[in-house]
Amino acid sequence: MKQEILKITENVRIAENVYRMTLEGPELEEQKPGQFVNIRLEGQFLRRPISVHDSEPGRLVIIYKAVGKGTEQMSRMTAGETLDVLTGLGNGYDLSKAGDKPLLLGGGVGVPPLYLLARKLRAQGKDVTAVLGFNTKAEVFGEEDFKALGCAVTVTTADGSYGTRGFVTDALPEAYSTFYTCGPEPMLKAVYKKTKTSGQFSFEERMGCGFGACMGCSCKTITGYKRICREGPVLEKEEILWED
Ligand SMILES: Cc1cc2nc3c(=O)[nH]c(=O)nc-3n(C[C@H](O)[C@H](O)[C@H](O)COP(=O)(O)OP(=O)(O)OC[C@H]3O[C@@H](n4cnc5c(N)ncnc54)[C@H](O)[C@@H]3O)c2cc1C
Ligand code: FES
């Protein structure tokens, strides 16, 4: 984990209430797919965790939805302003288990972390399929970005206003070697039930400190309690215990 002051170089709206922000800093290291950063915002007690969407040395891209005070504050920031960011948080996805034909399943703001994963898997020559789920057409983003990487892409909307009507689980391909997923909990539960292979789930739980100190994100797994911020946010399908 590293604390850095990063400069905003872009902050643009890309869908309804959804923004893409690019941050730069000379010391910024490349982040791993599935890792997250934790952002301090003026007047907010807790930092706000946001997944890494894309990353290279010196540059970090995040995509976030304005849902409350913190993220709305972020959406009003402009290029040239700076943010205090904890980087290098979380375990990230394990690419070594991808097999030849990995499937990526993202829902809403669970789509952003899958982009860097897709880019890395494509660089390894994998045949990547991405199914991106949203509520409605106005909320859709990312389709062209995944296509540009050479992924086979299906978009689903719950109301049928764009792409395939339904949820990501209504558009699962016949064959895939494993899957990687991130999205709201009801979607993750449906993915857990409907998929037939091993896979990795990223949980975007509410967090406190974000770096393992407060136990606020702890959840029960097959192998005992785990802190989502430290031993997660990515858990293997086989270790998940759903609590009602
Ligand atoms: C590891 C991790 C990665 C995340 N990645 C992303 C991302 O890439 N893009 C993105 O848009 N969001 C992401 N989130 C969720 C994001 O952290 C919250 O939306 C944000 O903290 C809300 O802050 P706020 O001050 O705007 O809202 P608040 O005022 O704190 O809350 C507003 C509303 O959002 C709900 N809310 C707050 N936090 C969460 C949460 N973690 N999950 C679901 N609902 C929440 C609250 O219950 C409330 O209804 C991630 C969360 C985690 C833990
Ligand atoms: S948020 Fe504090 S331990 Fe995970």
Which tokens belong to 110? 């669970």
Question: Closest by alpha carbon to 200, among 170, 217, 176?
Answer: 176
> Residue 104 in contact with residue 129, Cβ under 8 Å?
yes
Strands 54-56 and 218-221 turn out to be unpaired
Q: Which atom of ligand 2 is nearest to the CA of 210?
A: 1
Q: Which atom of ligand 1 is nearest to the CA of 70?
A: 25
Q: What is the DSSP letter of 141?
A: -
- 131 Cα to the center of ligand 1, angstroms: 22
The label of the residue with tokens 């045949």 reads 127
Mean pLDDT within 183-211: 95
Mean pLDDT within 62-81: 98
Q: How much is the pLDDT for 27? A: 97
Which tokens belong to 15? 């869908």
> Residue 177 in contact with residue 99, Cβ under 8 Å?
yes
Nearest CA to ligand 1 atom 31: 68
The DSSP bridge partners found for residue 165 are 157
- 206 Cα to the center of ligand 1, angstroms: 7
- 237 Cα to the center of ligand 2, angstroms: 21
d(C-alpha 229, C-alpha 214), whole Å:
10
Q: Which of 122-136, 184-198, 206-220 has the lowest mean pLDDT?
A: 206-220
Q: Which atom of ligand 1 is nearest to the CA of 206?
A: 41
